[in-house]
Structure formats: structure tokens, C-alpha cells
Amino acid sequence: MQVAPPPPADRVAARLRGFGPLGILAILAILLVGNYPVAPLSGILVLVWVRWSRTPWREIGYVRPQSWIRDLAVGLAFGVAFKLLMKAIVMPLFGAPPINQAYHYLTGNRAALPGAVYLMIVGGGFGEETVFRGYLFERLGKLFGGSVGAKTAIVLLSAGLFGVHHYREQGLAGVEQASITGLMFGTIFAVTGRLWMVMAVHAAFDLTALAIIYWNVESAVAHLIFK
């Protein structure tokens, strides 16, 4: 008895989930397209990949939380505190400049504020977390497995890629900060397997940075501990 070949959609889905030419092309497209101000293109491509590859949403961390309010509140509070800690203590220890020149144009710039807020929430919170935590953890998890050692390697590797992603715009200080935040965000995701709280933490972190810049208190916060 002759077995019918699988439908074309099934073959495409299997190739997208694999690491052959189509799977690698998808990885490169998602990582290289980027998240631009108009739309988080890489994040959107991940959602398209999930749909076409028939990957369960939970595998990229899209899991409904037990309490949206609790996860949002914890994520926002932690994100704000984490940014203040990074700005006042961690980054000064790395010798980072107190002013982030890449975004200094936002100081007192009311006209640019709505677009910046949108970018921090949609580009950072949604786009970057969907790519660098949700998607990369799924892809690397298929390669390395689910052991503690494998998850540790995935956290480290994804944080490194997240850091490099920030070099062109923010230089070495941006790489250092993004690598550290990537380690934190990745650890939270590795432990919980849920992306929504990490998105909230990331968005709150970026919005706190925006507020510090907009109100021109970057230098004051950076010298709060180390004069």
C-alpha cells in the first residue's frame, strides 16, 4: 500500500522547525531584520514563524499567566528598580559615561516622547523579548536540550547576542548594559518559561531610562552613589 506524501504545508512546517536551509534562513531573517520604530519586524516575523511552523505558542513563552495584574505589577516594579540599580551602581562600576548620548536628544523633547514611549513598549518589551528570549530560547533549546547546563548556556549565549545587538547604536556601554540585562531577563525566562512578565520588566526598564533622560537627571542618578 502506497503512503501518500505529507501535504506541502506540513513539509514547510517541518523544515521551518528544523535546521536545514529553510530553518537557517528563517533564523537569519528574524535576527537580521531588526525591530524598527514603525513596527517590531523581527518580533512579527517570529509570530509568523510560529504559525507557519506549527510550533506551540507556549514554546516561545506565550503562556497565559495565572494573574495578569500580579505579573504586570511585579514586572513593572522590578523593571523600575533594576534600571535605577543599573544606572546608579552597576554601570558606574564599568566606567560607563553618565549620559547616554544615543538618546540624549530626548531630553525635554516633548514632540519625540510619544514615539519613544511606543518604541520602548512595542520595540523593546514586545519585539526584543519575543526574539531574544522567546524565539532564541526555543531554537537553542532544540539544539542544546533542556538540562540545567544547556539552559545556562542558552542564557549566556542569548545575552551575548542581545548585547552585540546594541553596539551599533549605543557603543560599548550599550553592549555592557544589554548583556547584563539580557542575563537577568534570560534567567527569569529560563526559570518561569513565561514571557509576559519579562516583557513587562523590559518595558518598565526602558521607560524608566526614558524618564531619566527626558527629565535630564541622568547624571544625577549616575552619581547618586559614586560621586
pLDDT band at 204 (very low <50, low <70, confident <90, very high): very high
**Residue 2 pLDDT > 80:** no
Q: Classify residue 212: in a domain, yes or no.
A: yes
User: Is 6 a member of any domain?
Assistant: no
Residue-level pLDDT at 4? 56
- Would residue 177 count as lying in a domain? yes
For residue 208, the enclosing domain spans 65-222
Whether residue 125 lies inside any domain: the answer is yes
Instruction: Give a yes or no: residue 88 inside a domain.
Output: yes
pLDDT band at 36 (very low <50, low <70, confident <90, very high): low
pLDDT attached to residue 84: 97
Domain-located, residue 60: no
pLDDT of 77 above 80: yes
pLDDT for 7 equals 73
When pLDDT is cut at 50, 70 and 90, the band that residue 219 belongs to is very high
The string of DSSP codes covering the chain is -PPPPPPHHHHHHHHHHSSSHHHHHHHHHHHHH---SS--HHHHHHHHHHHHHT--GGGGT----S-HHHHHHHHHHHHHHHHHHIIIIIHHHTT--SS-GGGGGGTT-GGGHHHHHHIIIIIIIIIIHIIIIIIHHHHHHHHH-SSHHHHHHHHHHHHHHHHHHTHHHHHHHHHHHHHHHHHHHHHHHHHH--SHHHHHHHHHHHHHHHHHHHTT-HHHHHTSS--
pLDDT tens sequence across 78-108: 999 999 999 999 999 999 999 999 999 999 9
Question: Does residue 192 lie within any of the structural domains?
Answer: yes
Rounded to an integer, the average pLDDT of 117-144 is: 95
Question: What is the count of structural domains for the chain?
Answer: 1
Look at residue 65 and tell me whether its pLDDT is greater than 70: yes
Q: How confident is the model at residue 226, as a pLDDT?
A: 86
119 within some domain: yes
